[in-house]
């Protein structure tokens, strides 16, 4: 998969799931950045914060950057743009679902993410 497609995919999936279930950064973007971009945990966490760079999270992302963990601000911008689009799309879908179905989907995503992270190197 090309780099640009990976960035777009991360932004869209994180945005959709954020709007859909209120998750995105830690649950979606971080594992995808590790898997698709080859980032280490610190880089992925810093990048996740950079994507969500409002004044509060910008300071946290900058802390990762100052500690020597590379954050590619251009990549963060591309992901952030598609995160907004995905957030809109995910929220439109989520409001049409039954609350019990939404809870089950949320739980399943958390379990899958946890198992994948637990079993990864």
Contacts of 117 (CB under 8 A, 6+ apart): 31
| pLDDT score of 7 | 93
- Give the C-alpha separation, 26 to 106, whole Å: 14
Q: What residues does each domain of the chain span?
A: 3-116
Higher-scoring residue by pLDDT: 117, 65: 65
Tokens of 45: 């966490």
What is the Cα–Cα distance from 111 to 108, expressed in whole angstroms?
A: 5
- The pTM for the full model equals 0.63
Encode pLDDT of 17-65 as tens digits.
776 766 666 788 888 898 999 998 888 878 887 887 665 567 777 888 8
User: Is residue 109 within 8 Å of 23, Cβ to Cβ?
Assistant: yes
Measured between alpha carbons, how far is 24 from 10 in angstroms, rounded to an integer?
Answer: 9
């Amino acid at each position: 998969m090309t780099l640009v497609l990976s960035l777009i995919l991360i932004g869209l999936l994180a945005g959709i799931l954020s709007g859909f279930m209120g998750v995105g950064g830690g649950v979606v973007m971080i594992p995808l950045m590790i898997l698709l971009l080859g980032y280490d945990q610190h880089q992925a966490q810093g990048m996740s914060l950079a994507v969500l760079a409002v004044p509060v999270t910008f300071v946290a992302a900058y802390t990762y950057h100052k500690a020597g963990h590379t954050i590619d601000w251009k990549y963060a911008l591309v992901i952030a743009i598609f995160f907004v689009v995905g957030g809109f799309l995910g929220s439109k879908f989520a409001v049409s679902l039954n609350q019990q179905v939404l809870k089950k989907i949320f739980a399943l995503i958390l379990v899958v993410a946890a198992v994948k992270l637990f079993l990864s190197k």
